[in-house]
Amino acid sequence: MSLPRFRLLRPRYWLSGIAVLALGVVVQTQHLDDRALLWWQEGNTPLVNRLASVWLPGYRAVIQARALPGLEKDETSGLTYNPVTGTLFAVTGKNPLLVELSRQGEILRRIELIGFADPEGVEVLGDGRLAIIDERRRQLTTITLRDHDLSLDAADFPGFDLGFADAGNKGFEAIAWDARSRSLMLGKERGPMGLFSLPFPGEDGAAGVMQPFSYGDLGMRDISSLSIDARTGHALVLSDESRMLLEIDRAGQPVSFLSLSAGRNGLAKSIKQAEGVTMDEEGNIYIVAEPNLFYVFSKEPADAG
C-alpha cells in the first residue's frame, strides 16, 4: 500500500522552510533589510553629489578595536571632537566619567562626573562649552571645562529637562552641534526613535523650544550617536543595532552609509556595540564602542566615490 502523496512531499516542504529560515537569519544578522535601498541609492548618486557630501563608501578603517585602558567596566558611550584642543572627549555610562582622548586613542585625562546617573552623549558647543546628555535623568547639562579639572558636579552647571518622562532607558542618547543653525540635533534611541532640533541658546540664554526634525526613511533600528560635518552641514547618524553609520543631508534625506560589519570598509571584525561618533576638521571619523573600543576611519586620498 503506497503512502499518500502529501507525505512524500513533506521533506521538500521542510527543506524549503529551512531555506527560508536560513535566508531570514542572514538578512537579520547581516542587516541587509536595513540597507538594500541605500545600496541602490548610492549606486545611482551622481559624482558631483558624492563630492559635495561626506560620502561614507570612500572611508576605510585605519585603527580597529583599540582598547581604551582602564575603561573596561565603564561602558564607553558618546564621543565629540574639540577643534581648539585637537582632542576627543567621551563619556562613560556605568561609572560616570568624561574622558579626554588623543586622536590615536590614548587616554589623556579622566574627569569624574558627580551627580550624573547615566551620561550617554557629549558634544562641544560653538562657544567651547560641552553639553552632556544624561539619559536616565532626561537632562541636558552644559559645562565649562578647565585644563586642570579632574571632577565636575552637575549641581554647579545649568541643566535642561528634555522631557519624555516615560522613555526610561530608551531616551535621548545622541547629540550634535549644528553651527549653521546654532542649534542642537538630538537623537532619541528608540521606542519611538526620533530626531529633534533644539535652538541653543535661545534669546534669553536658555534652551529654545525643541521641535521634531523632519527626516526620511533612515533604514535603521535605533539611534546611538550623532555628529554634524561642519564642511557640508550633513549629519552622521550612528546605529548600534543596525551596525551602520548613515549620512543624511540637511533635509534629513539619506545620502550614503558605512557598514560596521566584518569585511566591509576595511573592518576585520564587526563593531558590535557602536555608541559614539564624531568627525575632525580633516574629515576623519572616530567611533567608540562598548565596553572600551576605539576606531578611526579615514578617506582614501585617491577615492572619488
pLDDT digits (tens, 9 = 90+) for 166-224: 655 567 999 999 999 989 999 998 888 999 999 876 555 567 788 999 988 888 999 99
Asked if the peptide bond before residue 291 counts as cis, ω within 30 degrees of 0, the response is yes
Question: What is the average pLDDT across 234-258?
Answer: 95
Whether 255 has a pLDDT exceeding 90, the answer reads: yes
Q: How far apart are CA 8 and CA 10, in angstroms?
A: 6
- Looking at residue 23, its pLDDT comes to 41
Question: With contact defined as beta carbons under 8 Å apart, do 91 and 278 qualify?
Answer: no
Residue bearing the bigger pLDDT, 142 or 164: 142
Helix orientation angle between 5-29 and 32-43, rounded to the nearest 10 degrees: 70
- Looking at residue 106, its pLDDT comes to 97
Question: What is the average pLDDT across 9-37?
Answer: 53
pTM here is: 0.86
And the C-alpha cell for 107?
A: 587616554
- Looking at residue 128, its pLDDT comes to 86
Give the residue ranges of DSSP H helices in the chain: 5-29, 32-43, 47-51
Q: Please give the C-alpha separations between residue 62 and each of 201, 286, 299, in angstroms, as whole numbers.
A: 37, 10, 9
Mean pLDDT estimate for the chain: 86
- Looking at residue 13, its pLDDT comes to 52
- Looking at residue 240, its pLDDT comes to 93
Q: How far apart are CA 14 and CA 20, in angstroms?
A: 10
Question: With contact defined as beta carbons under 8 Å apart, do 68 and 105 qualify?
Answer: yes
- Looking at residue 14, its pLDDT comes to 55
- Looking at residue 90, its pLDDT comes to 98
